[in-house]
Amino acid sequence: MNLRLHGDTIAPPGMLEFAVNVWPHRRPALLQAALTKALADSDRYPDEAAAREAIAVRHRRNADEVLLTNGACEAFWLLAQAYRPRLAVVVHPSFTEPEVALRIHRTEVRQVFRESEHWHLDSADVPDKADYVVLGNPDNPTGALEPRKTSTALARPARLLVVDESFIDFVPSVDASLAGDSDVPGLIVVRSLTKLWSLAGIRAGYLLAAADTVDRLTAHRQPGSVNALACAALAICAADNDTPRCVAADVAAARAKLAEGLRTLPGVRVWPSAANFLLLRVPDGPRVIEALRERHNIAVRPAASFPGLDENHIRIAVRTHDDNGLLVRAFSEVLR
């Protein structure tokens, strides 16, 4: 199983892209202006202070509990390097890069699986002796959103609980996030601007954790790993509550209509999702994926590289209503 297969490697330029979970929308004017200014000022080294303070204010945390990262992935690699857990648990199916980072650093990793009917986790399945647990919420690729009590039940005084909230901005409820929960022992929340803000190339992410955890991770981070454009984007986006609210509503409407159309197709199973993508199961997945590429120039994400899924599982990003309509019609044709 190739744990390093990601959606951005699936489709060459020119294809209609449903393999990458980046919402296609116009950036807010203030964000675009901030990026333009940061580029003009890029003869100077990045200054992280404004972004850290803005993120701290957003989540009602202290600035020393915020660490900017070069996308969410850097957070997972820093954690694996700085802590070298004895026994790590990664809840699957899920984003695979946290497990890759742990295995590269010779950590014993145990995979714990969500039940496959609704993709929810039984926290009792996580062994007590695990000193490091990774949970995606909402989960990628299933779209499942665990209730707070399930996530916090995994916390232990001698354990790091890493919750990947890269897609949480698509969830309207402010209570869904653990980002402001500074009282949960060992909690580390990882966030990203890639998905909702359409900033995949900027590599802007951050984590929230106890100050001593941030200090330890900072000691392992190379200088200047977060560039000036990412710092500017993080500062602006942290202060913008309107854009996530509007985008989340747009995504929810597009997702509902797309799911409705796909559920009418023969042999297709569509799971509910809290994020900007849907997980499907189709008959003869490899043939369907290839037919979408060859006949319709459409790229979707084969999901067999996610532990717990197989070749008949496909993840598709939610795009505009027009693009989603094209996808449903293409599926209808190749499933005949």
Render pLDDT for 14-69 as a digit per residue (tens, 0 to 9). Answer: 789 999 988 887 888 999 999 999 999 888 899 999 999 999 999 999 999 999 99
Average pLDDT over residues 269-278: 97
Report whether pLDDT(318) > 80.
yes
At 197-247, the pLDDT tens digits run 989 889 999 999 999 999 999 999 998 899 999 999 999 999 999 999 999
What is the pLDDT at residue 87?
A: 97
At 251-264, the pLDDT tens digits run 999 999 999 999 99
Contact indicator for 177, 148 with CB cutoff of 8 Å: no
Across the chain, how many H-helices and E-strands are there? 11, 13
What is the pLDDT at residue 14?
A: 78
SS (H, E, C) 5-22: CCHHHCCCCCCEECCCCC
Question: 209 phi and psi, to 5 degrees?
Answer: -160, 175
Domains of the chain: 7-25+243-334 (3.90.1150.10), 29-239 (3.40.640.10)
Report whether pLDDT(10) > 80.
no
Report whether pLDDT(276) > 60.
yes
Confidence of residue 3 (pLDDT cuts 50, 70, 90): low
Q: How far apart are CA 111 and CA 88, in angstroms?
A: 9
Residue type, 66: V
What is the pLDDT at residue 43?
A: 87
What is the pLDDT at residue 26?
A: 80
Lookup result for tokens 């995949």: 200
Report whether pLDDT(280) > 90.
yes
At 56-105, the pLDDT tens digits run 999 999 999 999 999 999 999 999 999 999 999 999 999 999 999 999 99
What is the pLDDT at residue 22?
A: 87
Confidence of residue 8 (pLDDT cuts 50, 70, 90): low
Contact indicator for 201, 174 with CB cutoff of 8 Å: no
Which contiguous run of DSSP H or E holds residue 161? strand 160-164
What is the pLDDT at residue 4?
A: 57
Average pLDDT over residues 314-318: 97
Average pLDDT over residues 7-18: 74
